[in-house]
Amino acid sequence: MTAYLLRRTLLLVISLLLASSVLFLLLRLLPGDPANSLLSVGATPEQVAAARHEIGSDLPLPEQFASWIGRMATLDLGRSFISSLPVGPEIAGRLVVTAPLTILAFLLAVLISVPAGFVTAHRRGTWYGSLLGGVSQFGLAVPVFWVGMLLITVFALHLRLLPAGGFPADDWADPAAALTSLVLPVLTVSLVMSASLIRYVHSAALDVLGSDYLRTARALGSSFAGAIWRHGLRNAAVPVVSILGIELATTFLGAVVVENVFALPGLGSMLVKAFAQHDYPVIQGILVLSTFTVLLIGFLADVVQRLIDPRLRRTATGGPE
């Protein structure tokens, strides 16, 4: 297991370096010069040259890349071209919105999808099992922003129960107000995510319910709930954990989109503004953080899978199945 963790950690670092390099190069292929965001209309060539020198865009691309990688090695994300403020603290300030939104939406989606997915498998011949399956299929086809606008229309505009958007100016100084402003965004992300998760839980539950070991446990006198708890849960959890890792990463990225629907001051609005202003340090910082988050979640999902299933640990060490 230790050797696997070392190999997997090395792969995580290499993947992050490769992804960061690709992001750096792709940003430089975007049309327009970031120095233009510092200049007014009608700037002279001398002013343009001074602005390019100030932000370093006049340097050869290899030098820009080497400078950026050097700063990344010290966890320095640079300074914004527009505000001249350090990017790291700015991103950290926006995470107080994005991180709770992601975590709450993921937890709610798991609470909805795990029992619903099991019901659709165990009671697939009943009307309510079929209804849950149909609702999950419909949810896969619905865009997340459309769900957000529908919830705003119903709960904010018509019923006037919840705010349509925004976030308290003092962040979490008033937890009740902050949580209230996140109710609709969390529901939006979790409902869309649940539609996908229900299908995977349904498939894993079907495999367990039709397995020989579950039938044997029942034949030996175990109750249905006891057999599921002692023998089925671990086997069903292995494929589901992998999907949960993917869905958690998707939830983080989806939260960035939903923030723009609900006018939340998270990473989403920060990223959109940075793209409009060609603020490369901010764009790079957010995308590298998102990439690292996705890779780290995948790493943790793999580790959890091997902790749950000893067969994977034996395979990883080259032992017999």
The secondary structure of 120-152 as a DSSP string is HHHTTTSHHHHHHHHHHHHHHTS-HHHHHHHHI
State the pLDDT confidence band at 76, using cuts at 50, 70 and 90: confident
State the pLDDT confidence band at 297, using cuts at 50, 70 and 90: confident
Mean pLDDT computed over 293-297: 84
* pLDDT (tens digit per residue) in 25-75: 887 777 666 776 666 666 777 777 887 777 777 778 888 888 888 887 787
* pLDDT (tens digit per residue) in 236-279: 666 677 777 777 777 777 777 788 888 888 888 888 888 877 78
* Per-residue pLDDT at 180: 92
**Beta-bridge partner residues of 79:** 86
Q: Which residues lie below 8 Å from residue 161, measured CB to CB, with a gap of 6+?
A: 155
Query: CA triplet 140, 145, 150: central angle to 5 degrees?
Result: 90
Q: Which of 3.40.640.10, 1.10.3720.10, 3.90.420.10, 3.30.70.3170 would CATH assign to domain 88-316? A: 1.10.3720.10
**Nearest of 291, 248, 313, 256 to residue 4 by alpha carbon:** 313
Query: Can you tell me the distance from the alpha carbon of 128 to that of 180, in angstroms, rounded to the nearest whole number?
Result: 31
- 321: pLDDT strictly greater than 70: no
Query: Can you tell me the distance from the alpha carbon of 99 to that of 46, in angstroms, rounded to the nearest whole number?
Result: 43
Mean pLDDT computed over 304-315: 67
Mean pLDDT computed over 83-104: 88
Query: Can you tell me the distance from the alpha carbon of 237 to that of 231, in angstroms, rounded to the nearest whole number?
Result: 11
Query: Can you tell me the distance from the alpha carbon of 275 to that of 277, in angstroms, rounded to the nearest whole number?
Result: 5
101/294: higher pLDDT: 101
pTM, full prediction: 0.78
Q: What is the DSSP-derived secondary structure letter of residue 173?
A: G
- 317: pLDDT strictly greater than 70: no
Residue carrying structure tokens 């962040």: 171
For the chain, give the percent of residues with pLDDT over 70. Answer: 86
Asked if 189 contacts 109 with a C-beta cutoff of 8 angstroms, the reply is yes
**Beta-bridge partner residues of 86:** 79
Mean pLDDT computed over 299-303: 81
* Per-residue pLDDT at 313: 59
Asked if 83 contacts 91 with a C-beta cutoff of 8 angstroms, the reply is no
- 301: pLDDT strictly greater than 70: yes
Cα dihedral sign, 92-95-100-103: negative
State the pLDDT confidence band at 116, using cuts at 50, 70 and 90: confident
Query: Can you tell me the distance from the alpha carbon of 126 to that of 133, in angstroms, rounded to the nearest whole number?
Result: 11
* Per-residue pLDDT at 320: 46
Q: What is the mean pLDDT of the chain?
A: 80
Residue ranges covered by each domain of the chain: 32-76, 88-316
Q: Which residues lie below 8 Å from residue 128, measured CB to CB, with a gap of 6+?
A: 119
- Collapsing DSSP to helix, strand or coil, 1 comes out as coil
Asked if 116 contacts 203 with a C-beta cutoff of 8 angstroms, the reply is no
Query: Can you tell me the distance from the alpha carbon of 272 to that of 269, in angstroms, rounded to the nearest whole number?
Result: 5
Q: Which two tokens stand for residue 21?
A: 């390099």
Residue carrying structure tokens 């100084």: 173
| Helix or strand holding residue 75 (H, E) | none
Query: Can you tell me the distance from the alpha carbon of 117 to that of 203, in angstroms, rounded to the nearest whole number?
Result: 8
* pLDDT (tens digit per residue) in 144-201: 778 888 899 999 888 888 888 888 888 888 899 899 999 999 999 888 888 888 887 8
The full length of the chain comes to 321
- 315: pLDDT strictly greater than 70: no
Mean pLDDT computed over 100-122: 86
Q: Which residues lie below 8 Å from residue 224, measured CB to CB, with a gap of 6+?
A: 218
